[in-house]
Structure formats: structure tokens, C-alpha cells
Chains A and B, each alone.
Chain A
């Protein structure tokens, strides 16, 4: 529920020659305009990346764990993404995979139950131990099988894992009980960040706050020091020389260090960024965007390439079993008003349950049109008559529904408040479930407490739609009956197909079928394609995000 990412806007600039020249001219002009006494390094920007300096990065919350399968939470992911290397790398723009620790894309058998990787032999972890075939297998065994005794969970991205096998010194093979077409992408995500042998032995607590400096990866940065709950200092790894081929920077990170400072209060985080006390801040809320841009900073809105921010209607609840009620909710909510009055241009209106940049996206034309008259007609037909206070009643029961507050997502409370006003017009009472994150989580799987679930999930693979809706995963529709069997078996079968068809085209077709089914049954109402929005100082160059919008800091350099 917490992973997101965006990548949509003009992806960050790769310092192209043209840009460098432009920057050079600009800085020359700036110099000319300034007092003549300034003997600044002439044209620092035009000479391309500068090595050195400390980057200050403002984070919204403190991290909770660095165990990669549980690192979807953004503050966790920001660290794991920069501390670990992975077998493969996914281009955040094209979503194509390329080698990283593996020397080539894996060889996959016909039914996608066996993956063979050839791996580099020149990579070391930051504690000096070599990254070996045995170590890679130990990593994936842990991520694919978990360890209940140490409270280490199975990675959501790795399905049907059976075992790993060391073929020889530079070859590893993974075996699956059933087709696992998402595995190649899975090993490129932060959830499969490779860890040194010593780190793999830690338990759940050992990955928690206070242990960051002991989490050993093979990425471009290491943790130099940590003040629990306040700040973390990352140091560049001088001998890092195994960046993915597409990376602009093939060597050590340009900056010497990164100070990650936790500033939970929005106004403080944005204020200190805008006043020049930090270089980059994560989570710029839509209402703060102007404050950032008017201070001369740029916004980096990274798309999250997954299931859109929206509502899941839990169709097994007595009030929602009638499809006419669900269709009425969809017709009674004005999404365009929600997006235009609460969000900004960085939040594109959704056109399917999946983001238009997600793998498997299939546009659902006219599926979410705002038509309050139709909504009222549908509710009339379903036997709901407007009561004395304007809320519809049937057999003495009020049409009252409860929705959770998606605390990790932007402005969920504002969205729900506006939607509740809109639904009141058609005689539906929508109530926000009050409570902090722990209370929301506790209630989230109880259909008696929460009938409509507000959420999103980011992952740049076909599997993402299964992550959101399958009874094995987040199960946002609560599609599991008392007998453990899916209530809508067709939906579950389609989702399983997405995650098991060995062939890419077949997976795309299955994903499209899921989206069509969700539309047909009026199970979901997507609002917008959720980005991760960063505010970036003009002297920061080369800032990029991975495929779900987590910061990649090895290519960042600071001007002057």
C-alpha cells in the first residue's frame, strides 16, 4: 500500500551535450551579470559532472526495516535502492530489463519454471566479501521462501519459488513449482536487493532501526552513520564499478556523501527545501508544489507504473452485492472534480485500473463517466428510496458505507471528504474510517468495518494487478469466502493467469481481461495515476528514480 512511484514527467535530464552547453552559457551570463569581483570557478556546469560534496535529502518518515522484501515502504526503499545491487536493472522509462550483477538477461525455459543467470565474478560487498554464486542463491532462497522463525517474510514479487541451485562459480539457476514469468522483473526490484552472507543471517529485528550500518550490500552507497529516527549518512563506495550498462555514471557516485534527514512535518520539509537548506525533498504534496516552483526549484514527478490510486468496492458486502449500487457509486462520483480541485497536473486522471505507463495497461473507455442522473436511476431501480434526511433507505436499512483513509497516499482524507459530498447528492452516505495507521490496518480486512478500500500499488510488472486484487496478496476486494475459495472465481483465475502465462503477449492479454472484468463488474473506481513528487534544487543534476519512483542517487552531482 505504500509503494508508489512515478516517473512520468520529463525524466531527469541525462546531462546531454546540448544541455551542458546551455548551462555553460547560462552560468557565464549569470557571472557577467554578477559583481565583477566574483572569481567563481568558471563554467563549472559546462564541464559536466563534478565529483564531491554532500547531498542533503529530506525524507518524510523514518525507515522501518531494510529487509528487502519488506522495503516497499518509501523511506525503506530509498535506502535499499542505493545500498544494494540486483541481478538485473529495469530502465525506469522503457521498463526494459538489462544486466546488472548478471552479465546478461537470464535464460528461461519454455514454461518459465527455470531461470539461469550468468553472474559477474568481480563484485564485492562493502564488507569485502565477494559476491558469489552461493551468495546469490542464499539471497533468493531467503526472499523466495522467507523464514518464519526469524519473522522474515516471503517477497511479494517472487511467486512459486522452489529452490536455487549453484551450477558453477558464475552460474546460478532458480527452479519454480509453477510458471513464474514475473521473476526476471522481480530480481530487478529493490525487494530483491542482494545482501552479504553476514547480513542474510540477521532476524527481523536485525534489519530494523539502529542496524543500518550493519546492512551490507553491493550498491553504490554504504551507511556511514545513523541516528535512529532522525538522520542517516550514506557514504559513496569508492570502489563501486559495476553500474548497469545504461547508467550515465559507471564509477563511484559523484557525491561523497548523502545526508538523509527525516522531516515529518510537511511545512518544515518544504520550507527548508525552498529556503535552500536541503537539495532534494521527497513527497511534495500538490498544495505545496507552487511554493517549491516559485522558489526557483524544479519538481520531479515520477510515475509509479502500477495500480492506480482509487477505490475498491468490496462486492461481497450486503450493500454492495447489487451491481446497480456499485455502478451508481461510479456514476455518482465526479473524478475530474476530485483531481482538478485537490491535485495538480502531476496527477493524470486514470483511464483504467492500471496506470497508462504500466505493463499490461488497457484503456477502459467511458467506464467511469460522471452521470448523477444515471446514478439516481440505478439506485431507484435497486429499491433504494430517499429517506427523510436525504440518505436512501431500503427495508429500514440506510445506504451507509465506510471507507478507509489511505494514510500513505496523498490527501486521501480530502479525496474522501469531497467524494462523500458528491455521493450525498445521490443519497449515499460515505463515512471515513477514523484512526491512525495501525487502526486503519487492523480494520482494513474486516468487511463490516470497511466496505470501500482506498489504495494503490506500484510495481513495474504485469504481476502488479495480481498484487492488488488476488486473494494471495493484498486482496483489496476481499474476494475470499469463508471456505477460503474465491467468491468471484473468474477474477481470481484471470489474475493467476497474469502471473503464470510464460508468454509476454499472453500475460498482457490476461491483464487486459482482468481490467475488462473489473470494469464490467464495476468493482473499482480509479482516480489518478499516482506519482512520487520530489522537489529538487537547481544546482542538483542527474537526479533519477527507479521504476517505481524511488530515488537513485549514484548519478547525482552538485554544481559549484
Chain B
């Protein structure tokens, strides 16, 4: 229990630090939302008119005052309004989040399937097959998401015409983005999985199980899988960050709306309230997932349970 409380407290601290750091870093970007939106020479506004607009939007106040307003807003559930479009940040997030969650969760499921498939093939079967599959994760890790997305589009959509990109049905529209986002996630997962299967197979208890007549399938599913799961679960929590970063690129390449696209536009427009909310949401997501991983680990591995209680 003490362990759970301590981890939760640490998690909360990380979220607060994320909030403050994000706020300060965003302020350091050159140009502000007023410049981005109104200072285009085409509009021909004078410096005095721009200052009036800053006063209207409250961006002329000292940075600490703005930080305080923003923090107070977040605590009361008011995320503010977008400086670019004037829509409330909650509305923008509500519109963007479902699409990204769907993309990310499907991407993650596909990544897990892919990783398990690679790991099983790389640890069982003939030598040439093992070697082949063992070289896949390093290859996948080094493929840039951006490049992969474009190649998938070029080959599957533009050349072979298998999946449309423009005016695709919701299901069709998910195929290529999910693949794109899954590959770089699958790679480290598979790597860790292969490694822990290797380690587990070398353990004495596997030799014992085999000597008692257990077949390879039984050993893999009952003995190896359970022991190899823990490191994989830990890395999966860390990979959440990768998933968020992948969404920014994937959504831009595939012209999907979502959190990633919102992020990219908010950066371009110096839309601080929107960015602030996105950073905090991503931070909270990251922290919560890793917290959950930490808290459930003891349930999976009895050895950890002892360590915690000790």
C-alpha cells in the first residue's frame, strides 16, 4: 500500500512538472499567437493594433500571471480557449481525441500481435528462420515513421490501388495509418520479448519441465510466456510516448484529424492554450499508464510482490 501511495505521489509530481515546464518552454518560442494570426503583412495591422489585440486575449500580462491563470483554469477543469480559432480547448480536444485513441489503441494491438509473431518465429523453428526474424526488430526500429507512411501509401494505395486514401470509408482510412504506427512500436516490443524468451528458456526450471516430458508448445505457453511478459509490459508503458509522437507524423501524412494534427497546427500557430492542454494530457496518459504497469507488475510476478513487502 505504501508502495502504491508513493508511486501515485511521484506520478502527480511528474504531471505538475510537465505542466510548468511545458508552459515555460512554449513561451520561449519565437513569435506569439497574435503575431501568428494577425501580424501577416497582408492584414496590414499596426503595432499598436496588435498590442490592443494582445490585451484582449490577455497575452500582454507577465508570464507568471499567465501561468497562474492557466494553472487555476486546469484545476477547475477550464482548459481555456484556442487563440487561433476561438473555440474552447475542451471542444477541440473532444473532437480530436477519439480519432487518435482509436488509431493509437488499434496501432498498439497490431504492434503486440506483430511483436509476438516475430518473437515466436525468432525463438522457435529452423535456424535460418530464426536468424531472419531476429534481424527484423533492428530494421523496424530504424525505419522513420514518416518514410514508412509514404512508402505504404505509394505501394499499397497509389501503385496497387488496394486502399484509397482520399474519401476512404472509416475502416479503410485506418488500415495504412495503423500499420504505420504499429511497426515502430512492434520493434522494441519484439526485441524485449525475444530477449526475455531467450533468458527464460535458459533457466533451470525449463530444463526441469522438459525433462518431465513437456512439449515445446506447453513450455512456451505455460512456462516461458508468463516469465517473459513482465519486461515486455514495462517497455510497453514506455512506448506510449512513441505512440503519441507517431500520431503527430501519421496524422499529418495521412491527412487524418486528431491530437497529432492538432498539435502540429497549434505549434505552427503558437496556440499556447491548446498546446498546454495537449502536453498535459499526454503527460497524464504517460504517467497513468506507467503507474498502472508498476502497480500490476507484482500481481504478475510473485517475486516482485515479496520485494515490495520486504
Q: State whether these chains interact.
A: yes
- Residues of A whose CB lies within 8 Å of any CB of B are 1-3, 56, 58, 62, 64, 70, 72-73, 148, 151, 153-154, 156, 203-206, 208-210, 227-230, 259, 261-265, 267-268, 271-272, 274-275, 277-278, 435-439, 441-445, 455, 457, 472-476
**Among A228, A268, A435, contact of B255 (Cβ-Cβ < 8 Å):** A268
**Among B35, B41, B257, contact of A438 (Cβ-Cβ < 8 Å):** B35
Q: List 29 A-B contacts (CB under 8 A).
A: A1-B40, A1-B41, A2-B40, A58-B166, A64-B84, A148-B49, A148-B52, A208-B85, A209-B85, A210-B85, A227-B257, A229-B257, A229-B265, A230-B256, A261-B167, A263-B255, A268-B153, A271-B153, A271-B154, A272-B157, A272-B166, A277-B166, A435-B30, A435-B31, A438-B36, A438-B268, A439-B30, A441-B36, A475-B41
Q: Is the CB of A205 within 8 A of B41?
A: no
When C-beta atoms are compared, the residue in chain B nearest to A295 turns out to be B158
Q: Is the CB of B35 within 8 A of A56?
A: no
Q: Is B53 an interface residue (CB 8 A)?
A: yes
Q: A229-B265, A230-B255, A274-B158 are in contact. Are A437 and B42 (CB under 8 A)?
A: no
Q: Is the CB of A70 within 8 A of B35?
A: no
How far, in whole Å, are A470 and B15 apart by their CA atoms in the complex?
Answer: 50
Q: Is the CB of A442 within 8 A of B39?
A: yes
Interface residue SS majority, chain B: loop
Q: A156-B42, A275-B157 are in contact. Are A268 and B85 (CB under 8 A)?
A: no
- B residues near A3, Cβ cutoff 8 Å: 42
Restricting to B255-285, which residues have a CB under 8 Å from any CB of A? 255-257, 261-262, 265, 267-270
How far, in whole Å, are A162 and B253 apart by their CA atoms in the complex?
Answer: 48
> What are the 6 A-B residue pairs with the smallest beta carbon separation, nearest first?
A205-B86, A442-B31, A438-B36, A438-B31, A474-B41, A275-B158
Shortest CB-to-CB span from B36 to chain A, Å, is 4
How far, in whole Å, are A381 and B253 apart by their CA atoms in the complex?
Answer: 52
**Among A205, A472, A475, contact of B85 (Cβ-Cβ < 8 Å):** A205
**Among B31, B164, B256, contact of A441 (Cβ-Cβ < 8 Å):** B31
Q: Is the CB of B165 within 8 A of A277?
A: yes
Q: Is the CB of A444 within 8 A of B30?
A: no
A-B contacts besides A70-B43, A228-B85, A277-B167, 18 pairs, CB < 8 Å: A153-B43, A227-B257, A230-B257, A259-B167, A264-B252, A265-B150, A268-B254, A268-B255, A271-B158, A275-B161, A277-B157, A278-B166, A438-B269, A439-B29, A441-B31, A441-B36, A455-B41, A475-B41
Restricting to B33-92, which residues have a CB under 8 Å from any CB of A? 35-45, 49, 52-53, 56, 84-87
Q: What class of interface size applies to chain B in its complex with A?
A: 35 or more
How far, in whole Å, are A438 and B270 apart by their CA atoms in the complex?
Answer: 7
- A residues near B32, Cβ cutoff 8 Å: 438, 442
- B residues near A206, Cβ cutoff 8 Å: 86
How far, in whole Å, are A236 and B146 apart by their CA atoms in the complex?
Answer: 37
Q: Is B101 an interface residue (CB 8 A)?
A: no
Shortest CB-to-CB span from B152 to chain A, Å, is 11
Q: Is the CB of A443 within 8 A of B30?
A: yes
When C-beta atoms are compared, the residue in chain B nearest to A203 turns out to be B86
Q: Is the CB of B36 within 8 A of A437?
A: yes
Q: Is B95 an interface residue (CB 8 A)?
A: yes
- A residues near B262, Cβ cutoff 8 Å: 229
Q: A271-B153, A271-B158 are in contact. Are A437 and B268 (CB under 8 A)?
A: yes
- B residues near A72, Cβ cutoff 8 Å: 42
Q: Is the CB of A228 within 8 A of B38?
A: no
- Residues of B whose CB lies within 8 Å of any CB of A are 29-32, 35-45, 49, 52-53, 56, 84-87, 95, 150, 153-154, 157-159, 161, 164-167, 252-257, 261-262, 265, 267-270
- B residues near A228, Cβ cutoff 8 Å: 85, 95, 257
- B residues near A265, Cβ cutoff 8 Å: 150, 252-253, 255
- B residues near A151, Cβ cutoff 8 Å: 38, 53, 56
How far, in whole Å, are A64 and B307 apart by their CA atoms in the complex?
Answer: 57
Q: Is the CB of B268 within 8 A of A436?
A: yes
Residue of B29, B30, B39, B49 with most partner-chain A CB within 10 A: B30
How far, in whole Å, are A208 and B83 apart by their CA atoms in the complex?
Answer: 11
When C-beta atoms are compared, the residue in chain A nearest to B83 turns out to be A205
**Among B43, B52, B86, B159, contact of A208 (Cβ-Cβ < 8 Å):** B86
When C-beta atoms are compared, the residue in chain A nearest to B271 turns out to be A438
When C-beta atoms are compared, the residue in chain B nearest to A70 turns out to be B43
How far, in whole Å, are A275 and B157 apart by their CA atoms in the complex?
Answer: 8
Q: Is the CB of B270 within 8 A of A262?
A: no
Q: A58-B166, A438-B36 are in contact. Are A268 and B150 (CB under 8 A)?
A: yes
Shortest CB-to-CB span from A438 to chain B, Å, is 4
- B residues near A203, Cβ cutoff 8 Å: 86
How far, in whole Å, are A445 and B43 apart by their CA atoms in the complex?
Answer: 13
Q: A441-B31, A442-B30 are in contact. Are A56 and B167 (CB under 8 A)?
A: yes
Shortest CB-to-CB span from A402 to chain B, Å, is 14
- B residues near A261, Cβ cutoff 8 Å: 166-167, 255
- A residues near B267, Cβ cutoff 8 Å: 436
How far, in whole Å, are A203 and B36 apart by their CA atoms in the complex?
Answer: 18
How far, in whole Å, are A436 and B270 apart by their CA atoms in the complex?
Answer: 10
- A residues near B159, Cβ cutoff 8 Å: 275
Residue of B36, B49, B154 with most partner-chain A CB within 10 A: B36
Residue of A2, A209, A476 with most partner-chain B CB within 10 A: A209
Residue of A209, A263, A438 with most partner-chain B CB within 10 A: A438
How far, in whole Å, are A263 and B157 apart by their CA atoms in the complex?
Answer: 15
How far, in whole Å, are A274 and B154 apart by their CA atoms in the complex?
Answer: 11
**Among B45, B95, B268, contact of A153 (Cβ-Cβ < 8 Å):** B45
- A residues near B252, Cβ cutoff 8 Å: 264-265
How far, in whole Å, are A172 and B15 apart by their CA atoms in the complex?
Answer: 61
How far, in whole Å, are A275 and B270 apart by their CA atoms in the complex?
Answer: 36
Q: Is the CB of A267 within 8 A of B31?
A: no
When C-beta atoms are compared, the residue in chain B nearest to A444 turns out to be B41
How far, in whole Å, are A138 and B240 apart by their CA atoms in the complex?
Answer: 53
Residue of B36, B43, B252 with most partner-chain A CB within 10 A: B43
Q: A151-B56, A265-B252 are in contact. Are A204 and B44 (CB under 8 A)?
A: no
Shortest CB-to-CB span from A73 to chain B, Å, is 8
How far, in whole Å, are A259 and B166 apart by their CA atoms in the complex?
Answer: 10
Q: Is the CB of A2 within 8 A of B42?
A: yes
When C-beta atoms are compared, the residue in chain B nearest to A443 turns out to be B30
Shortest CB-to-CB span from A314 to chain B, Å, is 13
How far, in whole Å, are A262 and B157 apart by their CA atoms in the complex?
Answer: 17
**Among B42, B257, B270, contact of A1 (Cβ-Cβ < 8 Å):** B42
Residue of A56, A267, A435, A443 with most partner-chain B CB within 10 A: A267
Q: Is the CB of A277 within 8 A of B254?
A: no
Shortest CB-to-CB span from B256 to chain A, Å, is 7
- B residues near A457, Cβ cutoff 8 Å: 42
- A residues near B39, Cβ cutoff 8 Å: 441-442, 445
Q: Is the CB of B255 within 8 A of A264?
A: yes
- B residues near A476, Cβ cutoff 8 Å: 41
How far, in whole Å, are A267 and B255 apart by their CA atoms in the complex?
Answer: 12
How far, in whole Å, are A58 and B165 apart by their CA atoms in the complex?
Answer: 12
Shortest CB-to-CB span from B90 to chain A, Å, is 13
Shortest CB-to-CB span from A287 to chain B, Å, is 15
- B residues near A153, Cβ cutoff 8 Å: 38, 43-45
Shortest CB-to-CB span from B165 to chain A, Å, is 5
- B residues near A272, Cβ cutoff 8 Å: 153, 157-158, 165-166
Shortest CB-to-CB span from A284 to chain B, Å, is 15
